[in-house]
Structure 1
Amino acid sequence: MRIHSTQPILKKRAQQDEQIERAIAALSGRDASADEKILSASVEDLARMIRDRRATVAQVVGAFSERALKGHAEFNFLTEVMIAEAMKQAREMDENRPKKIPPLYGIPMSIKDNVDVKGFDTCYGFSSLTFKPAQQDAHIVQVLRSLGAIFIVKTNVPQTLMAFDSDNPVFGATSNPFNKKLIPGGSSGGEAAVLAYNGAAFGWGSDIGGSLRIPAGFCGNYALKPTHGRFPTVGCSPHSTRGQIAIVAVAGPMARSMKDLEYVTRIFLNVDISDMDPALQYSPYKDVKIHRKLRFGYYTDDGIVRSSPAVHRSIQETVDALRKEGHEVFPFQPPRMIDAVRIYFGIMGSDNLRTLTKHVAPDPYSAAVGGFVKLLRIPLIVRRIVGWIASYYQQDVVAAIVGTNSNCDVTQMWEIQDELRQYKLDFWEAWKAAASSDGTAMDGIIAPVQSIPPGAHGSTEKTGSAAVSTYLYNMLDYTAGVVPGSVVDPSKDKPADEKWFAGRSKGWLESIVYKYYDPVVQENAPLGIQVVGRMSEEEKVVDEALEKHGRKKALGPDGFLMVAYLTSSAEDRG
């Protein structure tokens, strides 16, 4: 999207330029001798370096801040630039070190634009919300500050947060650091991009349909979508869905490595947050030790849009690597996926998108958001006729989407929420049915992040249906994480010809989505792996033996595998 030239937008861009100028001045003359070592260190190592006085807070904050500015100039991933304030805070922290050093003391981090940071805008890419700085920190920010973290930047998002790119009229489009022609994902795309460029030690985003996982998968980093209630959301819930509590947004960490993700999650969950919000479920981080081989279900075809050859290969490499290590991995098919699509869109659009679009004016719609709005605001009778035609041609997915009632009365809303309740029960029965003959339960699911790799700018207007495998787990409120898998390789990943669709006819949605799959254009684009577990226990198992046993190529640069275990205790899993 082009930057538009209304007065509020021009004024906001001028403010950002001034923030950058102040940042450059604050970084002038700094000690950059240890930058290379600092930028390559883990969060835990950075904390140890500061604690042991092998690096100052100003050195660490300065190194990442300068890197963030350099990356922003090329990839446009920042909204609010808080570096001048961060450098002042860093120097004060060096001069006034407490006797007990908090675990994140002096660690510079980025945070998604929709999270309130006192004194700075939370505008979501809406010009109507510019120059309305937050009056207090979001609960997440309060906790992270108490742990010693320093906020250096806020990062870009799509208009309304309900799109899988990061493009809006105020700040424009963010590009993928692996390939400027490609999107970084969304809605936490600015976060994923700044981390991919090493512009922050770690970050934080939010997710109601894949907004943590898709950007992490597209930019080669790590993310955790928790179950609702484990992390605070006050001060970061999106305007676009506020008041809708059937499928709720969650907030979670993003990181440059599995080690960082585990470290930050552990530290955060060990803070007692029970007095912040009665909806929170305080449960300290629990170490989980596995004394047996694991059982994973997996799929590459979610029944809506089958995975492209590149995504299929990346999943299969992961499956093969796990099997090589002795774990059991078997096909698993999520149940009633067409109903899942209908329920998700029915709930998310149930108010005729009035809340979603409340703050858009006077800005134009982005392409991705505009297409969604136009579709669901076509009169229901017209959409149902189209749905009937689609059903006649056996295009049941299209029929489900276009036939969704997007202007529900109270009775209809209760009905669709009851359908969601039943779907959760049916999915749980499918999970239990995947137990082995001796009763050993399925431990998790290996699944795509999207059915195609990151597309070119503008592609998300047509490819929303490629994200079914992420928003499914928002519906269920299951914990899900993302780790890097392989990358697109044109020598291995061929275009999807008719042979690729043998055994199941190509659907109308697949015909649209696959126009944006081109392994040559998408060469070297990251291919994330989604790992799904059950509810309410975000603790992850990091099997460090993976690297020793040669799984580095299949499971990402760290050679780690993250598995979310969500219901049973560590003892039960032994």
Structure 2
Amino acid sequence: MTKGSWQEKAAKKRQEVRSEIPPSWLLPQDETSKFSETTPVSVLDLPRKYLDEKELHITEDYSPKQLLQKLADGGFTAVEVVEAFSHRSAIATQVTNCCTEIMFSYGLERAKFLDGYLVKHGKPFGPLHGLPISLKDSTNVPGYDSTIGYTGFIGNASSIKDYQFVDLILSLGAVPFVKTNIPHTLMTLDSENNIFGRTLNPNKLTLTAGGSSGGEGSLIKQRGSLVGFGTDIGGSIRIPAYCNGVYGLRSTVNRIPNVGGTDPSRDYFVGVDFTTGPLAVDLEGIELVTKAIIESEACSKISMARAVPWRPVEVSRPLRIGSLVPESRLPIHPPLKRILKEAEQKLRAQGHEIVPIEKYPSAYDSWKTIMGLFLADPESTAISTILDAGEPLINSLTDTGVKAFRGAPESIAELIELKAEAYRAAEDWHGVFDDNNLDCIIGPGAPGAAPPHDSCIIAPFTAQWNLVDFPALVIPYGKVEDTDEVEPVDKGDLADCFAFYEDKNAYLGAPGHIQIVTKHLHDEKLLSCAKIIEQALVS
């Protein structure tokens, strides 16, 4: 580890990362200077200005499944696919700051191996043969740091020992080629840190890209990657999914094993388990990689993996879908209320039954419970690591600690009560499903669309499902329209920690979404329900 201030270490790290981008892929300064977190513009069309015709064809004209088929039959080599997505991701990160470790050389070496394997054996190496995969910065890859935004972690590549997750996807033929940005502590809704800065939302740069897998959401929306992996402890996959307008799955804990990553906190085993899951450009991509991992032999050999095989589920139609009546303490923005209403109308038109659910465990109360569990580490390791390096806390992290309703448990008795609250909530949610004979529940994953930077501090709509370990999926649907007028709202005690729809121009054009949920371990049913729901929404 080099000596010097945290600022010097961060600047050196940024320069090292930038040097991994080929000089011919660097954008002119007069281009990048147009874009910042204060410019309310989209950058989604920018790659078309700099990619050649073949690179555009590879990165824009194929779904993950179609691209895998093209790779398997030799229509594309893995090398040309990885090069195309490397170039596109290089453009993306220069305007949205979505990437951390640039692993293009690593990806190309793997791609060359896969091309040789296909020629020699006449078959793909595995079900994900040649598919470029982006990874949240916390995922360990040999030879690369997992700084997770901490200057004190710069240079930690040599001390990392656990590569189980990247080894797992390599065994399936995937090609890791880039790591993506996160917030300090992996626990806030804005992906910002003192090394790599803030990730921007490519739909509108003045809106948050979400967190903590915000780099994944931003990169995938720009098609710098078609599929990537994040982690989710309170919404960290689903929040970037809805903010950027992509798909994100919070799987049941350890259906996809939680291994091979760097954690900001010490293991204290009494809080909330995070889960690993995919983000993708489409629902088919989500299912494809989830299924490939869960049914693989390599996954079955990982001790943390839940011993539940992949179980295909054919859901009978029509679906019986629970619709959560909003809590008065958690007001929904007018655009999302409209989007959810339109979705329910389309589902009814297709013959599905919508069941209003008025009595259910409060998301507001669940947030209080889960916040106490988040803070159960008496040494506050995630925060102390930042302060020990002399770094300042990012705004969203400061606000999370101050405005999140509940502090750390102060006794074993209080910790036991927090865990009891979680178990009671899970039992009550099972009752909601069983008593109403529901296939799934739909509702919001947030009060609205992606808010402006640093304006949304709490995440009750996503965290309530982490508390009870129910699989949950966010799918994009609709967007904020000019006709969505501001409505008066009682802010209650949420005034400083909840994003409110007060300036419709700030949100205009932002992607809408729906969150779909099923019971614990019913991941396959969740994906089956989601396919039926999406078919109804696009009909």
TM-score bracket, normalised by the shorter chain, equals 0.7 to 0.9
**What amino acid maps onto 2:236 in structure 1?**
S
**What amino acid maps onto 1:72 in structure 2?**
T
Change in 2 beyond 3 A, CA 1:517/1:541: farther
Preserved CA contact (<8 Å) 1:446 1:532: yes
Structure 1 residue runs of 5 or longer lacking an equivalent are 26-30, 376-400, 436-440, 553-558, 560-574
**What amino acid maps onto 2:480 in structure 1?**
V
Change in 2 beyond 3 A, CA 1:53/1:284: same
Preserved CA contact (<8 Å) 1:308 1:517: no
Which runs of structure 2 are paired with 1:127-138 in the superposition (5 Å)?
Answer: 127-133=151-157, 135-136=160-161, 138=163
Query: Shift in Å at residue 90 of structure 1?
Result: 1.9
Change in 2 beyond 3 A, CA 1:405/1:322: same
Query: Shift in Å at residue 91 of structure 1?
Result: 2.8
- Corresponding residue for residue 413 of structure 2: 411
**What amino acid maps onto 1:453 in structure 2?**
A
Preserved CA contact (<8 Å) 1:304 1:468: no
2:372 is equivalent to residue 373 of structure 1: no
The structure 1 residue matched to 2:468, chosen from 450, 455, 476, is: 476
Query: Shift in Å at residue 419 of structure 1?
Result: 2.5
**What amino acid maps onto 2:135 in structure 1?**
I
For residues 256 and 158 of structure 1, the distance between their equivalents in structure 2, rounded to whole angstroms, comes to: 22
Which runs of structure 2 are paired with 1:52-201 in the superposition (5 Å)?
Answer: 52-97=73-118, 98-99=120-121, 100-101=123-124, 102-133=126-157, 135-136=160-161, 138-201=163-226
Query: Shift in Å at residue 548 of structure 1?
Result: 7.1
For residues 252 and 197 of structure 1, the distance between their equivalents in structure 2, rounded to whole angstroms, comes to: 19
Change in 2 beyond 3 A, CA 1:314/1:82: same
Which runs of structure 2 are paired with 1:229-244 in the superposition (5 Å)?
Answer: 229-236=254-261, 238-240=263-265, 242-244=267-269
For residues 471 and 535 of structure 2, the distance between their equivalents in structure 1, rounded to whole angstroms, comes to: 27
**What amino acid maps onto 1:457 in structure 2?**
H
**What amino acid maps onto 2:464 in structure 1?**
L
Query: Shift in Å at residue 345 of structure 1?
Result: 1.6
Preserved CA contact (<8 Å) 1:335 1:430: no
CA offsets, 1:360-384, max 9 Å, x none? 1321100011123345xxxxxxxxx
Query: Shift in Å at residue 356 of structure 1?
Result: 2.6
2:406 is equivalent to residue 446 of structure 1: no
Query: Shift in Å at residue 37 of structure 1?
Result: 2.7
For residues 507 and 338 of structure 2, the distance between their equivalents in structure 1, rounded to whole angstroms, comes to: 15
SS at match of 2:229: strand
Query: Shift in Å at residue 8 of structure 1?
Result: 1.2
**What amino acid maps onto 2:99 in structure 1?**
L
Preserved CA contact (<8 Å) 1:306 1:510: no
- Corresponding residue for residue 519 of structure 2: 534
- Corresponding residue for residue 457 of structure 1: 453
For residues 301 and 237 of structure 1, the distance between their equivalents in structure 2, rounded to whole angstroms, comes to: 37
- Corresponding residue for residue 13 of structure 2: 12
The structure 1 residue matched to 2:344, chosen from 303, 315, 319, is: 319
Preserved CA contact (<8 Å) 1:450 1:469: yes
SS at match of 1:495: coil
Preserved CA contact (<8 Å) 1:300 1:448: no
**What amino acid maps onto 1:308 in structure 2?**
H
For residues 493 and 277 of structure 2, the distance between their equivalents in structure 1, rounded to whole angstroms, comes to: 34
Change in 2 beyond 3 A, CA 1:479/1:238: same
CA offsets, 1:267-310, max 9 Å, x none? 11111346544342233322211233111111262443211001
**What amino acid maps onto 1:110 in structure 2?**
S
**What amino acid maps onto 2:408 in structure 1?**
S
For residues 275 and 59 of structure 1, the distance between their equivalents in structure 2, rounded to whole angstroms, comes to: 32
Preserved CA contact (<8 Å) 2:325 2:357: no
Q: Structure 2 length as normaliser, TM-score?
A: 0.87
Change in 2 beyond 3 A, CA 1:196/1:428: same
For residues 534 and 431 of structure 2, the distance between their equivalents in structure 1, rounded to whole angstroms, comes to: 35
SS at match of 1:357: helix
Preserved CA contact (<8 Å) 2:257 2:306: no
Preserved CA contact (<8 Å) 1:271 1:284: no
Change in 2 beyond 3 A, CA 1:136/1:335: same
Preserved CA contact (<8 Å) 1:127 1:170: yes
User: Which one is further off, 366-375 or 470-479?
Assistant: 366-375
User: Which one is further off, 242-251 or 198-207?
Assistant: 242-251
2:426 is equivalent to residue 424 of structure 1: yes
Which runs of structure 2 are paired with 1:205-284 in the superposition (5 Å)?
Answer: 205-236=230-261, 238-240=263-265, 242-273=267-298, 276-284=301-309
Query: Shift in Å at residue 519 of structure 1?
Result: 2.2
For residues 91 and 20 of structure 1, the distance between their equivalents in structure 2, rounded to whole angstroms, comes to: 19
Preserved CA contact (<8 Å) 2:293 2:299: no
Preserved CA contact (<8 Å) 1:117 1:136: no
Which runs of structure 2 are paired with 1:281-300 in the superposition (5 Å)?
Answer: 281-299=306-324
Query: Shift in Å at residue 513 of structure 1?
Result: 3.1
CA offsets, 1:325-381, max 9 Å, x none? 111112214324443232112211233571231321321100011123345xxxxxx
Query: Shift in Å at residue 542 of structure 1?
Result: 6.1
Change in 2 beyond 3 A, CA 1:548/1:340: closer
User: Which one is further off, 298-307 or 45-54?
Assistant: 298-307
Please give the root-mean-square deviation of Cα atoms over the aligned residues, in Å: 2.5
SS at match of 1:421: helix
Query: Shift in Å at residue 241 of structure 1?
Result: 6.6
Change in 2 beyond 3 A, CA 1:517/1:80: farther
SS at match of 2:391: coil
Query: Shift in Å at residue 22 of structure 1?
Result: 7.5
- Corresponding residue for residue 348 of structure 1: 374
- Corresponding residue for residue 37 of structure 1: 57
Change in 2 beyond 3 A, CA 1:413/1:445: same
Query: Shift in Å at residue 178 of structure 1?
Result: 0.3
For residues 260 and 507 of structure 1, the distance between their equivalents in structure 2, rounded to whole angstroms, comes to: 40
For residues 412 and 102 of structure 2, the distance between their equivalents in structure 1, rounded to whole angstroms, comes to: 43
SS at match of 1:282: coil
Preserved CA contact (<8 Å) 1:452 1:517: no
**What amino acid maps onto 1:84 in structure 2?**
S
Query: Shift in Å at residue 512 of structure 1?
Result: 5.9
SS at match of 2:143: coil
Which runs of structure 2 are paired with 1:351-362 in the superposition (5 Å)?
Answer: 351=377, 354-361=380-387, 362=390
SS at match of 1:541: helix
Preserved CA contact (<8 Å) 2:191 2:199: yes
Query: Shift in Å at residue 14 of structure 1?
Result: 1.5
For residues 273 and 162 of structure 1, the distance between their equivalents in structure 2, rounded to whole angstroms, comes to: 30
Structure 2 residue runs of 5 or longer lacking an equivalent are 27-50
For residues 10 and 453 of structure 2, the distance between their equivalents in structure 1, rounded to whole angstroms, comes to: 21
- Corresponding residue for residue 520 of structure 1: 505
SS at match of 1:120: coil
Preserved CA contact (<8 Å) 1:113 1:122: yes
For residues 315 and 531 of structure 1, the distance between their equivalents in structure 2, rounded to whole angstroms, comes to: 12
**What amino acid maps onto 2:528 in structure 1?**
V
- Corresponding residue for residue 566 of structure 1: none
Preserved CA contact (<8 Å) 1:50 1:57: yes
For residues 495 and 352 of structure 1, the distance between their equivalents in structure 2, rounded to whole angstroms, comes to: 42
